[in-house]
Structure 1
Amino acid sequence: MSYMEIFTWELLGTAALVLIGTGSVATVLLKGSLAFGGGGNWLVIVFGWGLGVFVGASIASPTGGHINPIVTLALAITGSTAWSELPIYALGQLTGGIIGGILCWVVFKLQFDSSVDNSDTRRIFCTVPGERKRFWNTITEAIATFVLIFWILADPPGNAALGYGGVAAVVVAIGVGLGGPTGYAINPARDLGPRIAYWLLPIRGKARPDWGYAWVPVLGPVLGASAAALLYLALA
């Protein structure tokens, strides 16, 4: 498969992931949305991101449905993906994340425009920790990502039929069990891409993109994925 094909499919898949995921957050946070104040908000968001993984990975299936630079990194460490392809995957995923964030704004533009206070809308596009302690936030992201990546690598043959639905279920499980402290990015493209989109978008009264925290949802997943891949190699 050519580099352009890898870039394009991963862009499309990641854009779909981010569009649905950020859209689920916007659905429960923005006044004027039918679900605003309707209760069960965290579950809506968790299932939104989980189903977004299913849709995005299915779209990107020609390239393996990575839609996450950390998945590509782990597969490169274990020898399933060429290291030379890693930058192409990552660039496509990051670009898709930006596009997905912009499309979310397009879908909810009327809600953004009619909102009296958009100062909290950053959490629609990127993760915001409940307690801002970047060391511990990084550890949390690393542990959550370890669970995802080790499951992907060690997925037994009996689960193979689950396909991307199985990965989506794991993402939902992580969101329910481990997502509360940091918002569980577990994917740098899912956080950094829409964070850049938020920085660029003309949202009235928006907050800053918080670049001082932006490295946490990158470093944490890198550490967690690397540890999972190395453990998998040691056990294989």
Structure 2
Amino acid sequence: MHGFIGEFFGTMILILIGAGTCCSNNLNKSYGKGSGWLFICTSWGLAVTMGVYVAGSLGSLGHLNPAVTIPFAIFGLFPWSNVIPYLLGQFLGAFIGAALVIFHFWPQFKATKTDADGNNVSDFATRPAINNPFFNFLSEVIATFAFVFMLLNLGNFTQGLKPFIVGLVIMIVGTGLGTTTGFALNPARDWGPRFAYTILPVPNKASGEWGYSWVPMFGPLIGGCIACAIQALLV
């Protein structure tokens, strides 16, 4: 249960702050509207930092991400017996974090009409800058490979200042590789909020764009597996 509880609350904090950052940047009548990509990447990085600290304090390893948990288990870095509790904590925590964001920004959603080129699902889930499924998938594979490969070489990333380093890793992956797809890197980070957006009564809601959702699900999982495979060959 410690693994589930840590992953649940850590991922909830991650999404509460991360999706809140997107809402602050995108929604009308928000003091943060138009703050820009560096603001988003920095805030998401620090959201991961705080989520890892919370998760570690509550007894989990601070994965917060199926693209960490599943590849680590496949390559013998994490016990399979803990995979289901971790995944449940991650997806449920992401859903609850997104639900809190919806109600926190309710007046701002009411003040923001969906634009002609898309909709406000991007406040919760990822959308490609250019809709090209092959290259969108490849972008998620490459970005998640870079993220997990760096993570593997940090050791126990819940200790000391290492969660802050993990946040910096997220930030630089976002600024360097994230501008093509919004850098999901994490199936729970995308699917949990996307599901919350789909089923909850968000003002001015449009499509949940589930036709794209396979990209942020399978791209990160493949990228994480590639990183673990290369690490296994090198050490």
TM-score (norm 1): 0.92
- The secondary structure found in structure 1 opposite 2:150 is helix
Structure 1 partner of 2:231: 232
For 2:196 and 2:14, locate their aligned partners in 1 and report how far apart those are by CA, in whole Å: 15
1:172-222 per-residue CA deviation (whole Å, 9 max, x = no partner) reads 000000000000000000000000000012123311111111110011011
- Deviation at residue 156 of structure 1 after TM alignment: 6.8
Structure 1 partner of 2:125: 126
- The secondary structure found in structure 2 opposite 1:45 is helix
Unpaired runs of 5+ residues, structure 1, are none
Structure 2 partner of 1:182: 181
For 1:123 and 1:168, locate their aligned partners in 2 and report how far apart those are by CA, in whole Å: 21
Contact 2:114/2:206 (CA < 8 Å) preserved in 1?
no
Structure 2 partner of 1:21: 18
Please state if 1:49 is matched with 2:44: yes
Counterpart residue type for residue 115 of structure 1: T
- Deviation at residue 83 of structure 1 after TM alignment: 1.2
- Deviation at residue 161 of structure 1 after TM alignment: 5.1
Please state if 1:154 is matched with 2:149: no
For 2:18 and 2:62, locate their aligned partners in 1 and report how far apart those are by CA, in whole Å: 16
Contact 2:3/2:61 (CA < 8 Å) preserved in 1?
no
Contact 1:77/1:230 (CA < 8 Å) preserved in 2?
no
TM-score (norm 2): 0.93
Counterpart residue type for residue 19 of structure 1: L
Q: Matched residue pairs, number?
A: 229
Deviates more, 1:198-207 or 1:15-24: 198-207
Structure 1 partner of 2:82: 85
For 1:125 and 1:198, locate their aligned partners in 2 and report how far apart those are by CA, in whole Å: 7
Structure 2 partner of 1:200: 199
Please state if 1:59 is matched with 2:54: yes
Structure 1 runs (4+) greater than 6 angstroms displaced? none
Structure 2 partner of 1:36: 33
Q: Alpha carbon RMSD of aligned pairs, Å?
A: 1.6
For 1:144 and 1:58, locate their aligned partners in 2 and report how far apart those are by CA, in whole Å: 23
Counterpart residue type for residue 168 of structure 1: G
For 1:117 and 1:146, locate their aligned partners in 2 and report how far apart those are by CA, in whole Å: 33
Contact 1:19/1:104 (CA < 8 Å) preserved in 2?
yes
